[in-house]
A and B are shown apart, each in its own frame.
Chain A
Amino acid sequence: MIDQETIGLLLKGVNGVTWQSLVMIGISFVLFYLAIAKDYEPLLLLPIGAGCLLANLPLSPLVASDGMLKVLYDMGVGNEMFPLLIFIGIGALTDFGPLLENPKFVLLGAAGQFGIFLTLLLALLLGFTTNEAASIGIIGAIDGPTSIYVSGILAPHMLGPITVAAYSYMSLVPIIMPPVVYFLTTKQERAIRMPYSSRKISRRTRILFPIIVIALVGTLVPFATPLIGMLMLGNLMKESGVVERLTKASSNEIANAVTLFLGLAIGSTMVGTDFLKPSTLFILVLGLLAFGLDCAAGVLFAKVLNWITGGKVNPIIGAAGISAFPMAARVCQRIAQEEDFENFLLMHAMGANAAGQVASVVAGGVVLALMGAGG
């Protein structure tokens, strides 16, 4: 009755197991562990882990041509819509007040993107193509949506590892950033107090800021228009105060739903045969390096500012010039407080961090322009 063919059909799943799929399933378990036990960016790593697990099960109908994960990918990752939708939510959550109070910190945000270009050069030396190298460098800004956006255009085949690197490092900011800061600063520098100072920022300024940034950045760096446009749209909705329902929906419901879709779709790109290559390892290592270099560039530039101002800028806040808003600023505050519990430089770090948020988007646009994307 039960012939060879029937058994073959019944065991199709078991026979479809490959060593790559087993390794990838193991990786999905690591992602689950980081998300659930370690609480590292669980909102992203858990769906990514689930996408990875589901995509690597034998025959995985979910990534077949009409599979749900494939549909999600085509719906919002392949065409860049998901990262842009998330940016509206990020804009609605970002308070540019501390930056408007201390506009000079925009320089720290710019300095914080320096590592991107150093890493780009290094990746070129290691034999990556220019497009791949640019996508890897962007990881250094620790700005997930921008990384997805840029690599989706320049190197879609590397989207999986780049996204995993960007979001893993984002969750590792509290672990990776302090050693860089400690290495580059002295105890005296870290103890420089930056007392709270604020100017009253008028509502008009807060509303005009996102509009002017859209127009200015959009004109100077057209490739950054989608990202900066959505980021500042979210911020305009927040600051205008007239569309509270839209602001809430963008920063909660829409951002949450899209985060789930994005995580699953990204996880589904981590199919063993594509993911388990030496280049993935290089991406992870180079991404980490880019992150470290971005922090270092920010800190070194803050030291220059400190020297110019005659000792009024604590170099720690330079590290907040990367993106990863607002976590980077919080880590800076924690480092400062370890040296001197009465030092509250959080608002200054927030200013540098908000600048980094904008600067990483601009850097993404500059990279796209340099690579001649879009023909």
Chain B
Amino acid sequence: MRRYTLNISDREFIVDVQEIDADNFEVVVGGETYQVNLASEENLAEATITPGFAPSAASAAAASRKSAVSRPAPVAAQATPTSTPAARKPAGGGKGTQTAPMPGVILEINVKPGDTVTRGQQVAILDAMKMHNVIGAAQAGTVAEVFVDAGQAVDHGTPILKFKE
């Protein structure tokens, strides 16, 4: 379980997140327990949590009563103040980080920062269950940063690369 302590407009919120499996979480906020289903996950930008960041995420958590949210707040560890709801476009148009779709080992990285890719273009090969899986670029754009090296083991959701804004 992970505990996130968020300061939102000078009020402190304590959010406990228990991972049940990869896309189901039990979230405890203010003594109330919510079953949260992660419907989709997009990394819109890369940053660490800062005390002031949370508005969008916290509102998402608040809105999550009973219904599934597009993204459980505390998992949004990589979101930044710039990730306002308006910036949340589907993967095609959005900008941000591409993550590993399943656990495995990165065999090849086919791009480097500065490369321009088209959507679907091979950016890496992920070995999962001894199968070589081609990872295609989630969007067209320029690669800003590559986070993994060949030979590195990744988990579901490990950032692979980031696109330029």
A: residues with CB less than 8 A from B are 95, 98, 101, 195-200, 326, 329-330, 333, 337, 341-342, 344, 346-347, 350
**Additional pairs, 8, CB under 8 Å, beyond known A101-B21, A326-B129:** A95-B129, A195-B22, A195-B101, A196-B102, A198-B22, A337-B134, A344-B133, A347-B129
Residues of chain A within 8 A of B130, CB atoms compared: 326
Return B2 CB to nearest CB of chain A, in Å: 15
Return B105 CB to nearest CB of chain A, in Å: 14
Interface size on B (CB < 8 Å)?
19
Pairwise interchain contact A341-B131, C-beta atoms closer than 8 A: no
Return A344 CB to nearest CB of chain B, in Å: 4
Residues of chain A within 8 A of B120, CB atoms compared: 341
Name B128-154 residues within 8 Å CB distance of A. 128-131, 133-134, 136, 138
Residues of chain B within 8 A of A98, CB atoms compared: 129
Pairwise interchain contact B129-A329, C-beta atoms closer than 8 A: yes
Q: A337-B134, A342-B101 are in contact. Are A199 and B21 (CB under 8 A)?
A: yes
Q: Mark B113-126, 1 if CB is under 8 A from A, else 0.
A: 00000001000000
Pairwise interchain contact A333-B20, C-beta atoms closer than 8 A: no
**What's the A-B contact tally at a CB cutoff of 8 Å?**
53
Residues of chain B within 8 A of A344, CB atoms compared: 101-102, 128, 133
Q: Mark B3-36, 1 if CB is under 8 A from A, else 0.
A: 0000000000000000011111000000000000
Pairwise interchain contact B129-A346, C-beta atoms closer than 8 A: yes
Cα of A99 to Cα of B22 in the assembled complex, Å: 15
Cα of A92 to Cα of B58 in the assembled complex, Å: 47
B156 contacts the other chain (Cβ, under 8 Å)?
yes
Which single member of A197, A329, A333 contacts B22 (CB below 8 Å)?
A197
Cα of A173 to Cα of B158 in the assembled complex, Å: 32
Return A160 CB to nearest CB of chain B, in Å: 31
Pairwise interchain contact B21-A198, C-beta atoms closer than 8 A: yes
Residues of chain B within 8 A of A342, CB atoms compared: 91, 101, 136, 138
Residues of chain B within 8 A of A341, CB atoms compared: 120, 134, 136
Residues of chain A within 8 A of B133, CB atoms compared: 333, 337, 344, 346
Pairwise interchain contact B131-A197, C-beta atoms closer than 8 A: no
Residues of chain A within 8 A of B103, CB atoms compared: 196, 198
Return A193 CB to nearest CB of chain B, in Å: 10
Which single member of B21, B91, B131, B138 contacts A330 (CB below 8 Å)?
B131
Residues of chain B within 8 A of A101, CB atoms compared: 21
Residues of chain A within 8 A of B20, CB atoms compared: 199
Closest to B132 in A: A330
Residues of chain B within 8 A of A347, CB atoms compared: 102, 128-129
**A-B residue pairs in contact (CB < 8 Å), sample of 12:** A195-B22, A195-B23, A196-B101, A196-B102, A197-B22, A197-B24, A198-B21, A198-B22, A330-B129, A341-B136, A342-B101, A342-B138
7 tightest A-B contacts by CB?
A: A344-B101, A341-B136, A196-B102, A199-B21, A197-B22, A330-B131, A198-B22
Name B34-77 residues within 8 Å CB distance of A. none
Q: Mark B76-93, 1 if CB is under 8 A from A, else 0.
A: 000000000000000100
Pairwise interchain contact B21-A326, C-beta atoms closer than 8 A: no
Pairwise interchain contact A346-B136, C-beta atoms closer than 8 A: no
Return B72 CB to nearest CB of chain A, in Å: 14
Residues of chain A within 8 A of B138, CB atoms compared: 342
Return A327 CB to nearest CB of chain B, in Å: 9
Residues of chain A within 8 A of B102, CB atoms compared: 196, 344, 346-347
Which single member of A195, A198, A337, A350 contacts B129 (CB below 8 Å)?
A350
Residues of chain B within 8 A of A196, CB atoms compared: 22, 101-103, 156
Return A97 CB to nearest CB of chain B, in Å: 9
Residues of chain B within 8 A of A329, CB atoms compared: 129, 131
Pairwise interchain contact B131-A333, C-beta atoms closer than 8 A: yes
Cα of A199 to Cα of B18 in the assembled complex, Å: 12
Q: A196-B156, A341-B120 are in contact. Are A346 and B22 (CB under 8 A)?
A: no
Cα of A341 to Cα of B156 in the assembled complex, Å: 17
Cα of A101 to Cα of B103 in the assembled complex, Å: 14
Return B35 CB to nearest CB of chain A, in Å: 15
Cα of A173 to Cα of B96 in the assembled complex, Å: 38
Residues of chain A within 8 A of B129, CB atoms compared: 95, 98, 326, 329-330, 346-347, 350
Return A354 CB to nearest CB of chain B, in Å: 10
